[in-house]
Amino acid sequence: MYYSIFLIISSLLLLPAIFLVFIPVFPALWYMFFVACAFALFDGFTHMSWMGLGILASIVLLSVLVDMLSGIVGAKYGGASKKSLIYGFVGIIIGTVLFFPFGGLLGLFGGVLLAEFLTHRNKEVALKAATGSLVGTFVGMIINCFLAVSFLIVFLIFVL
């Protein structure tokens, strides 16, 4: 009886994270992993094994890679130079600190735009590279949404 109640509560706690992946820098999959670990601890690792947690952790690590690289890869695909990628990365950090939670997007866009404009003195080239960074970030959010759904499905497979 207690197991069923705890399973329902844990599953309901995992659902919002699927939508929270669309908030930049929000650790949605880390939150899901924390819920899965709490479930495993309270259940005494009866239904969720260490191997299961390891598989869930690999989904989280894949999500971290997607978060870190998607905007930069998008910028590179948009034609950004290495210097612009560095400016974009610095922009992510500064933007996140100053204007959480959406400042990372603005910082990435602004950093790439500034570096490309300073390098090429061409606003079209700069805008194309900066837009590529935003497109990459949004593609990363969609990938993370699929990873969050996968996490929930894998969690339910392990515990049922």
In this prediction, residue 4 has a pLDDT band, given cuts at 50, 70 and 90, of confident
Q: Which of 138, 80, 142 is nearest to 110 (CA)?
A: 80
Residue 137 has pLDDT above 80, yes or no: yes
The percent of residues above 70 in pLDDT, for the chain, comes to: 98
pLDDT at 139 (0 to 100): 93
Residue 19 has pLDDT above 80, yes or no: yes
pLDDT digits over 41-61, tens only? 988 888 899 999 999 999 999
What is the C-alpha to C-alpha distance for residues 106 and 96, in angstroms, rounded to an integer? 9
Cis peptide before 27 (omega within 30 of 0): no
Within 10 Å of residue 102's Cβ, how many Cβ atoms? 13
pTM value is: 0.83
pLDDT digits over 86-126, tens only? 888 898 889 888 887 778 888 888 999 998 888 878 888 88
Q: What is the CA radius of gyration of the chain?
A: 19
Residue-averaged pLDDT of the chain: 89
pLDDT at 146 (0 to 100): 96
